Structure 1
Amino acid sequence: MRSHCLMSLLCTASLSLSACTSTNVEHTGFLHDYSVLQEHTSPSGQDVLGWVSPALARGRYTQAYLAPSQFFPSTEPTVRIPLSTLAGVTDYYDAALRHELGKVMQLVSTPGPNTLIVRPAITRVAASTQGLRFYEWLPVTLLAAGVSTATGIRDQDSEIATEVSFEDGSTGEVIAEVMRKGTGVPLDNNKQVLTADDVKVVLDGWASDLGKSYVALRR
């Protein structure tokens, strides 16, 4: 019986570690074409899936229209992720993008010629149980880790993902796409409410990378 429980814990741990190391991101249907996405490294050194049209002329876009961020697919509030959190996430994402893009190009209130339309979406916000650390693989600590997971007292990761479409302000043609995910502040257990503050550092990083990527493309 004990060996059976230990084997179950090992299987669970293996699955957890596989999920943590996976670079796959779920396709939600928000972007126009997922088949063109390739792995890149962002200016901050993070893994990103992205694509830029080879026909994009450098320096073509001198201003940007930032569409309000949205949850896609639509997300219903829960006890752990209430409406205040959902609203706080999109509000902060919009503010971070305005701040960083405003440093490198003019922001406008309506699309038009020479305008880059930026359409951001939050495609995931969730809390998941953290994978096992290397020192928890000994039989005794592995059993303790399994008990902690089962009783919900194990630390959890605050997870968030985004997809962003970039379009021509005159034609609506998609000229670039990006997907990425991040992990915010750890939560103490499976009861703690996830707040917008828990993922702000991730949103700030995404916005900063976007501004720096635009500067690189403009050269």
Structure 2
Amino acid sequence: MRKQVLAPVLCLSLLMVGCSQNKVSPKEYSGFLRNYDQLSEHKTASGESVLRWLSPKLRMERYSQVYIAPSRFYPQPKPSTRIPEPTLKAVTTYYDAALKRELGKVLTLVEQPGPNTLIIRPAITSVDAHTQSLHFYEYLPVTLVVAGVSSAVGIRDLDSVIATEAAFLDGGSRAVVAEVVRKGTGLPLENDDQVMSAENLKMVLDGWAQDWRNAAVALRQQNAAALTGQKSTVP
């Protein structure tokens, strides 16, 4: 009877681990942002979990331009055999390009911040590879033993994981108007010997940039709706 109860409980625990993989815990905060206490969890337009704070004074309709500061690692990571220096450089380069590509669709990109400009300061706070969570077909008690052995001998795939923190500032006053913390899982590595490349993470970086573009549009709509007394939501 005890084994019959244990199996469902274990399966539920594994499911919870998989679902929480892209949620950022307080112990993962890097110190890049000024205040983490004001963050709260939200769902983006793509359905991903994100920690976010928006200033009550934020009015997106004030901004016709956007200045995107070059992304950087915070803290600066040490290159490794699995994640070498060329990969780190390629990740920041692609992150910058993705943000400019998406936000440039709704705001004019500028080289210097000024009035009517939204400043974005993005940081990559971690890049790593973790052993994948078990898949649903591995939750059965019989296959749990096999999955455990596979993980122990290092033949399970590794998830490529990346996290970001970003501050959004008013270009005129330099006041912080929003802060965001989030994490994502990219294409897996097949084993401990595979070197991570920017290709493993591009889908995550593209998704972040698209979500920020959608949020900018939604905030404009929300502010406009507030002026007319209508209801609107922000992803």
What TM-score results when the alignment is normalised by the length of structure 1? 0.89
Counterpart selection for 1:56 from 31, 37, 58:
58
Equivalent residue, structure 2, for 1:4: none
Structure 2: stretches of 5+ with no match in the other structure: 1-5, 222-235
Q: 1:14, CA displacement in angstroms?
A: 8.5
* Separation of aligned partners in 1, 2:111 and 2:134: 47
Q: Which range moves more in the overlay, 130-139 or 59-68?
A: 130-139
* Separation of aligned partners in 2, 1:139 and 1:210: 42
**Residue 109 of structure 1: SS of its match in structure 2?**
coil
Matched, 1:132 2:134: yes
Q: Is the 1:28–1:123 Cα contact (8 Å) retained in structure 2?
A: yes
Query: Are the structure 2 counterparts of residues 203 and 192 from structure 1 closer, same or farther at C-alpha, using a change threshold of 3 Å?
Result: same
* Separation of aligned partners in 2, 1:75 and 1:16: 30
Flag as ranges the 4+ runs of structure 1 deviating above 6 A. 13-16
**Residue 129 of structure 2: SS of its match in structure 1?**
strand
* Separation of aligned partners in 1, 2:140 and 2:161: 28
Q: Tell me which amino acid in the other structure corresponds to 2:190.
A: D
Equivalent residue, structure 1, for 2:102: 100
Equivalent residue, structure 2, for 1:24: 24
What TM-score results when the alignment is normalised by the length of structure 2? 0.83
* Separation of aligned partners in 2, 1:58 and 1:110: 19
Counterpart selection for 1:145 from 144, 147, 152:
147
Equivalent residue, structure 1, for 2:225: none
Query: Are the structure 2 counterparts of residues 14 and 83 from structure 1 closer, same or farther at C-alpha, using a change threshold of 3 Å?
Result: farther
Structure 1: stretches of 5+ with no match in the other structure: 1-6
Q: 1:32, CA displacement in angstroms?
A: 1.5
Matches of residues 1-219 of structure 1 in structure 2 within 5 Å?
A: 19-22=17-20, 23-25=23-25, 26-219=28-221
Q: 1:16, CA displacement in angstroms?
A: 6.4
Q: Is the 2:106–2:217 Cα contact (8 Å) retained in structure 1?
A: yes
**Residue 172 of structure 1: SS of its match in structure 2?**
coil
Q: Tell me which amino acid in the other structure corresponds to 2:18.
A: C
Q: 1:15, CA displacement in angstroms?
A: 7.6
